[in-house]
Structure 1
Amino acid sequence: MSWWQVDETHDPALSSWVPGADGHADFPVQNLPLGVFSPAGGRPRIGIAIGGHVLDLAAAAACGLLPAEAGGLCGGARLNRLLGAPTEVRQELRRCLSRLLTDPAHRPQLENLLHQAADCTLHLPAWIGDYTDFYVGIHHAGNVGRQFRPDNPLLPNYKHVPIGYHGRASSIRPSGVPVVRPNGQRKAPDMDAPVFGPAARLDYELELGVWIGEGNELGTPIPIEEARRHIAGLCLLNDWSARDLQAWEYQPLGPFAAKNFHSTISPWIVTAEALAPFRMAQAPRPATDPQPLPYLWDEGDQAHGALALELEVHLTSEAMRAAGMAPLALSHGEARHMYWTIGQIVTHHAAGGCNLRPGDLLGTGTISAPERAGFGSLMELTEGGRQPLPLPSGETRSFLEDGDEVTLSATARADGFVPIGFGPCRARVVPAP
């Protein structure tokens, strides 16, 4: 079965007996994302989000309510084993959960296994062995490139190879954990020597996170037509960036301290199976663009490899919150503006024999739209700080200030299907030590 195949679990007519699940903005019964949570006073355990509740999968498995193979993978405090299971195992689990949560006959068995999400603590869903960040947002790459190379914004390799770099897994945190402004070296063009201190040009980046499912052996590439079997699901990712530190350090090896201090993810994994109705064709490349090399090209991936996801970014400052003001919408874009598909970045990552492992995380890189309303970073929205943004409080922002809180959100939409969301990816900036 292809991972984009729609089945009975996507039926828009499905209704759940869980209070508040029907019509929930993010987690109706058609979603069923995986995560790790702690109930009040309890230990971390595996669950799914359903409406404003979390269902304890470990407890459901202990009651014999889940398929034997999948249920046996729901113990512990990390999702790595379940992510690494064959796609068919997660599909069977999804179908079972859909039946349990839509048939009122199962309510007496499951009601005591539900926890109010507001009373739970959410954790990283998996142990992240490795994290790699890509650069597939061509409009972001062009916008940033024009600030430094007006006549040649995209480097010659961009349209031939998915560009990426190995990031820092240890500093990835779930939504809600504050971001400590990093200290580092910076040197403005008019300075004679670098200085050390708090980053002055702190920025957010609107990205998707890709969770690896089944891994591959060292030395064994992943063919593009098989890439979908290695993708367990997606989350939102804010790969915070200290632009002034990055400008000084990135030559010749790329980002380092400017990116390794913190990355924020939404804690629920929206599974590849849940996203099946929202698959769409990859946008055709301009006729003047080079054809990707054969190892990166698959007609099925081109026909179904893009996603109908609406992406948004909101900001509040400390003054805005004190005054009770609503968050300011900074951008509204779509995931379809990725130049390379998720399948292509997975295949390229493993092309030289790199072994991907269950729970590894890939970032797409900043996703921006062609128009300003969909730009995915302040670096673009303020033209490198030259055009500050006005806030409702009367403040302005070129880059993020201490006390600012950034929230990413995403909604998958397609005609004839119930929209599903990712939940918030939120963090507040606190002063450097």
Structure 2
Amino acid sequence: MPEQSPLDLAEGDLFGPHNLPYGVFSTADEPERRRVGVRIGGHVLDAGAAALALGSPYAALLAQPSLNPLLAAGRTAWRDVRRALTAWVTSPAHRADIEPLLHPLSAVALHLPYDVADYVDFYASEHHATNVGRIFRPDGDALTPNWKHLPIGYHGRSGTVVVSGTDVVRPHGQRKTPADPAPVFGPSVKLDIEAEVGFVVGTPSPQGTPVPLADFRDHVFGLFLLNDWSARDIQAWEYVPLGPFLGKSFATSVSAWVTPLEALDTAQVAPPARDFPLLPYLDDSEEEEPGGYDIRIEVRINGEVVSTPPFSTMYWTAAQQLAQMTVNGASLRTGDLFGSGTVSGPEAGERGSLLELTWNGRDPLELPTGKRTFLEDGDEVTMTAWAPGPHGTRVGLGEVTGRITPAR
């Protein structure tokens, strides 16, 4: 019996030809040579070698150690390359050329797929923001007065964005509880997760020129899962009055795979109803495409499911976040990342952080590895997700995982 081709996928594979996310990989025989790869089932296609073998005009863009040249090439190139890749992995005429260029996922190393420029993180889930407000302001309004008028965000540290699978060292910092007479210094004792969806910018924009809602897809290449690790005790002491700093900047983990926006056309949904009229630059009521995405996230700690946050409930869309980022004239650069902010749903089992899941430690999680209020050394957090695809398929987002190692 002839050996089954890696291109003959099982029905329902999350990484079939309807998906084709991009990443960067290397092989054991050439560990220093990084290459653009496209995931198909349980294999990675060497995209540059395939483009060269099949005479693609985009071979130079794909024969690179990073996705940045492809990102910078713009939307027409993104569409053309995706159409070509789809044909290469589905047409029997191309199998003889494509099959030798497929590498099992188990045999490759995956790397951060782009050079990160700037990193911005938002606070776009009403359920998350309300929970946090109730925890820290039990006698006041859960949401701040500006929350439903603009997407709140902060600038993070791009140099500590790491690819899935990278260990996360427990951070040191100052912390002070209300009962402490003075701040103390030491390892964080409230290390947390934030389940998010991230977006990567391809086409840049000039300084001084805002990017309108309608131009979102001309600038944003794709999305991925993101875990914005958070040291809640460090954050609580330092964040007044300027916001997140050392409590966030020690590590942000991202998936090794970027799913192009085109793969998620079927997953587009309308965002929740807005409670207040929005200023024109944020008003998406007349936009041709709905701005939300129906993405179902699953969070596991040491293999145990602890939460299933629904991205469809996010109050602010990625297009609105991009518009907010640039409305003051701030420029976009190829490789800019922005995170959605913690994704939380209305139910207790849909909360995207331990801060919410345990209500700041009051209600510990019962796991097979013991009770958890916040993360302990050795804990491994894994996030996966899928979205509805064409013709009843599901589009898988590459996982993001990280293990906590002791403070140094």
- TM bin, normalised by shorter chain, reads over 0.9
Q: Which runs of no fewer than 5 residues in structure 1 stay unpaired?
A: 1-15, 317-326
1:189 aligns with 2:178: yes
Deviation at 1:415, TM superposition (A): 7.3
Take 1:381 and 1:261, find their aligned partners in 2: how far apart are those partners?
A: 22
One-letter identity of the residue aligned with 2:326: A
In the alignment, is the contact (CA less than 8 A) between 2:12 and 2:394 conserved in 1?
Answer: no
One-letter identity of the residue aligned with 1:52: G
Equivalences for residues 69-84 of structure 1 within 5 A: 70-84=58-72
1:396 aligns with 2:386: no
1:282 aligns with 2:271: yes
In the alignment, is the contact (CA less than 8 A) between 2:266 and 2:390 conserved in 1?
Answer: no
Take 1:417 and 1:273, find their aligned partners in 2: how far apart are those partners?
A: 16
In the alignment, is the contact (CA less than 8 A) between 1:18 and 1:101 conserved in 2?
Answer: no
Choose the corresponding residue for 1:380, options 350, 356, 375. 356
TM-score by length of 1: 0.90
Take 2:55 and 2:10, find their aligned partners in 1: how far apart are those partners?
A: 22
Choose the corresponding residue for 2:291, options 298, 305, 309. 305
In the alignment, is the contact (CA less than 8 A) between 2:211 and 2:327 conserved in 1?
Answer: yes
Cα 1:397/1:428, change in 2 over 3 Å: same
1:49 aligns with 2:25: no
Take 1:141 and 1:300, find their aligned partners in 2: how far apart are those partners?
A: 27
Take 1:19 and 1:196, find their aligned partners in 2: how far apart are those partners?
A: 54
Aligned residues: 402
One-letter identity of the residue aligned with 1:369: G
Cα 1:282/1:34, change in 2 over 3 Å: same
One-letter identity of the residue aligned with 1:407: T
Secondary structure of the equivalent of 2:324? Answer: helix
Equivalences for residues 346-365 of structure 1 within 5 A: 346-365=322-341
One-letter identity of the residue aligned with 2:37: G
Equivalences for residues 94-173 of structure 1 within 5 A: 94-150=82-138, 151-173=140-162
Deviation at 1:65, TM superposition (A): 3.9
1:252 aligns with 2:252: no
Take 1:368 and 1:339, find their aligned partners in 2: how far apart are those partners?
A: 11
Q: Which residue is equivalent to 1:10? A: none
Q: Which residue is equivalent to 1:237? A: 226
Take 1:416 and 1:106, find their aligned partners in 2: how far apart are those partners?
A: 24
Secondary structure of the equivalent of 2:129? Answer: helix
Take 2:386 and 2:252, find their aligned partners in 1: how far apart are those partners?
A: 21
In the alignment, is the contact (CA less than 8 A) between 2:18 and 2:389 conserved in 1?
Answer: no
Mean alpha-carbon deviation: is it higher for 186-195 or for 222-231? Answer: 222-231
Take 1:241 and 1:26, find their aligned partners in 2: how far apart are those partners?
A: 30
Secondary structure of the equivalent of 2:250? Answer: coil
Secondary structure of the equivalent of 1:253? Answer: coil
Deviation at 1:297, TM superposition (A): 1.4
One-letter identity of the residue aligned with 1:292: L
Deviation at 1:22, TM superposition (A): 3.7
Deviation at 1:64, TM superposition (A): 3.5
Take 1:300 and 1:216, find their aligned partners in 2: how far apart are those partners?
A: 24
Secondary structure of the equivalent of 1:18? Answer: coil
Deviation at 1:384, TM superposition (A): 0.4
Secondary structure of the equivalent of 2:308? Answer: strand
Q: Which residue is equivalent to 2:314? A: 338
Could you list the per-position Cα deviations for residues 80-133 of structure 1 after superposition, in whole angstroms to 9, with x for gaps in the alignment?
121122212111111111111111221111111111111111111100011000
Q: Which residue is equivalent to 1:412? A: 387
Overall identity of the aligned pairs, in %: 46
Deviation at 1:24, TM superposition (A): 5.7
Mean alpha-carbon deviation: is it higher for 406-415 or for 38-47? Answer: 406-415
Take 1:427 and 1:226, find their aligned partners in 2: how far apart are those partners?
A: 34
In the alignment, is the contact (CA less than 8 A) between 1:264 and 1:427 conserved in 2?
Answer: yes
One-letter identity of the residue aligned with 2:34: P
In the alignment, is the contact (CA less than 8 A) between 1:281 and 1:302 conserved in 2?
Answer: no
Q: Which residue is equivalent to 2:9? A: 21
Deviation at 1:25, TM superposition (A): 4.1
Take 1:79 and 1:93, find their aligned partners in 2: how far apart are those partners?
A: 13
Mean alpha-carbon deviation: is it higher for 366-375 or for 35-44? Answer: 35-44
One-letter identity of the residue aligned with 2:298: E
Take 2:329 and 2:10, find their aligned partners in 1: how far apart are those partners?
A: 45
Deviation at 1:283, TM superposition (A): 2.1
One-letter identity of the residue aligned with 2:388: R
One-letter identity of the residue aligned with 1:206: A
In the alignment, is the contact (CA less than 8 A) between 1:301 and 1:343 conserved in 2?
Answer: no
Cα 1:373/1:20, change in 2 over 3 Å: farther
In the alignment, is the contact (CA less than 8 A) between 1:305 and 1:343 conserved in 2?
Answer: yes
Secondary structure of the equivalent of 1:358? Answer: coil
Could you list the per-position Cα deviations for residues 381-415 of structure 1 after superposition, in whole angstroms to 9, with x for gaps in the alignment?
1000011111124x100000000000011100257
Take 2:290 and 2:338, find their aligned partners in 1: how far apart are those partners?
A: 19
TM-score by length of 2: 0.95
Take 1:369 and 1:200, find their aligned partners in 2: how far apart are those partners?
A: 26
Deviation at 1:27, TM superposition (A): 1.0
In the alignment, is the contact (CA less than 8 A) between 1:186 and 1:196 conserved in 2?
Answer: yes
One-letter identity of the residue aligned with 1:307: Y
In the alignment, is the contact (CA less than 8 A) between 2:222 and 2:259 conserved in 1?
Answer: yes
1:32 aligns with 2:20: yes
One-letter identity of the residue aligned with 1:226: D
